[in-house]
């Protein structure tokens, strides 16, 4: 059995936004809390925390913010621009920079993405809610099999390696700033199928 390979297509890679964020980020970011305002998801999981279980409420809010973030990522790739999306509200620092660079690269290479990514098995792996800037670490399964890279001038899909890994684990870090939760880090584990 061969080990799955990373998706590699010229200079535009869907997972590149995650790889770039992982290379630049750790548990801390150098962005300041006042820099952005995160979006508020209408996901039922984002309801106010229960007084009986405040940690569960904070974790649920972070998960809802992460789902809302991925909706904005999907919009940015579909539009080939972050303009008209809430990327600047849902992400900061390395996480946002990686998305901006990847979308710009796609645009400059005459490529775009259609379809939608799948996000499943979203799980809190660590939560530290009793600090000045609360943090939640998440793990999820990202499925890019229905997220198709295509050539904008021809409309044809960009050929992909037949053995590319299309479902892999992603670990993420969110921080709660004064206006809500923001994604500060997304790290793909493209050798870990989920």
Domain locations in the chain?
16-27+34-193
Contacts of 154 (CB under 8 A, 6+ apart): none
Name which of 103, 90, 86, 94 is nearest 183 in CA terms.
Answer: 90
Question: What burial class does residue 80 get, using C-beta atoms within 10 Å of its C-beta: 0-12 exposed, 13-18 middle, 19+ buried?
Answer: middle
Q: Structure tokens of 114?
A: 């259609």
* pLDDT at residue 190, rounded to an integer: 82
CA-CA distance, 79 to 74, in Å (whole number)? 9
Distance CA 90, CA 181 (A): 7
Supply the pLDDT for residue 98. Answer: 92
128 - beta bridge partners?
135
Predicted local distance difference test score (pLDDT) of residue 192 = 86
Full pLDDT tens readout for the chain, 194 residues: 444 333 333 333 444 433 333 333 333 333 333 333 333 333 333 333 333 344 468 999 999 999 999 999 999 999 999 999 999 999 999 999 999 999 999 999 999 999 999 999 999 999 999 999 999 999 999 999 999 999 999 999 999 888 889 999 999 999 999 989 999 999 888 888 99
pTM of the prediction? 0.73
Provide CATH code, domain 16-27+34-193: 3.10.450
Q: Please report the pLDDT score of residue 124 as a whole number.
A: 97
Instruction: Check residue 34 and give its pLDDT.
Output: 35
Question: What was the pLDDT predicted at 52?
Answer: 35
pLDDT number for residue 61: 97
């Amino acid at each position: 059995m061969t080990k799955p390979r990373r998706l590699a297509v010229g200079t535009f890679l869907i997972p590149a936004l995650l790889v770039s964020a992982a290379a630049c980020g750790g548990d801390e970011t150098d962005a300041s809390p006042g820099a952005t305002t995160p979006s508020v998801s209408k996901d039922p999981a984002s309801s106010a925390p229960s007084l009986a279980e405040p940690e569960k409420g904070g974790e649920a809010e972070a998960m809802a913010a992460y789902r809302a973030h991925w909706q904005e990522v999907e919009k940015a790739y579909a539009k080939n621009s972050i303009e008209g999306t809430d990327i600047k509200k849902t992400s900061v620092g390395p996480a946002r920079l990686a998305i901006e660079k990847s979308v710009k690269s796609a645009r400059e290479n005459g490529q775009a993405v259609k379809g939608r990514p799948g996000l499943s098995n979203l799980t809190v792996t660590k939560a530290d809610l009793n600090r000045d800037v609360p943090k939640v670490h998440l793990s999820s399964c990202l499925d890019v099999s229905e997220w198709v890279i295509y050539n904008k001038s021809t409309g044809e899909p960009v050929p992909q390696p037949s053995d590319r890994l299309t479902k892999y684990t992603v670990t993420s870090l969110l921080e709660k700033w004064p206006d809500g939760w923001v994604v500060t880090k997304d790290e793909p584990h493209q050798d870990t199928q989920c």
